[in-house]
Amino acid sequence: MTKKEKQFVAMLLKMASSKFANHCCNDLPKEIESFFTKEEWLDLDKKYHRHNEHTDTPQESHHVNADFAWMSYFANVLNNEK
């Protein structure tokens, strides 16, 4: 992907994140929940929490389950933003 394409996808993700954040239920669907292994989820959650400067680290049984949070996170990653 070109830098501009990444910026475009990031803009779309931020728009979607804003819309999804206003939905009642923001849980990830089952097919997405099972996309990563337990270990992969833990690794991704650690990256998410580091990116957001959370002082607590996720426990093995915990991961971020909100769809809009992941959209926002990946938008920032694509833009190389903090």
Number of structural domains the chain divides into: 1
**Tens digits of per-residue pLDDT, 6-63?**
999 999 999 999 988 887 777 788 888 889 998 998 899 888 888 888 766 666 555 7
How many angstroms separate the Cα of 13 from the Cα of each of 10, 18, 40, 64, 68?
Answer: 5, 9, 22, 17, 9
Q: How far apart are the first and last CA of the chain?
A: 20
Q: How confident is the model at residue 71 (pLDDT cuts 50, 70, 90)?
A: very high
Helix and strand numbers, DSSP H then E, in the chain: 4, 0
- Measured at the CA of 37, the angle between CA 33 and CA 43, to 5 degrees, comes to 100
Domain limits for position 33: 3-78
Q: Which residues pair with 66 in a beta bridge?
A: 27
Asked whether the predicted pLDDT for residue 3 surpasses 70, the reply is yes
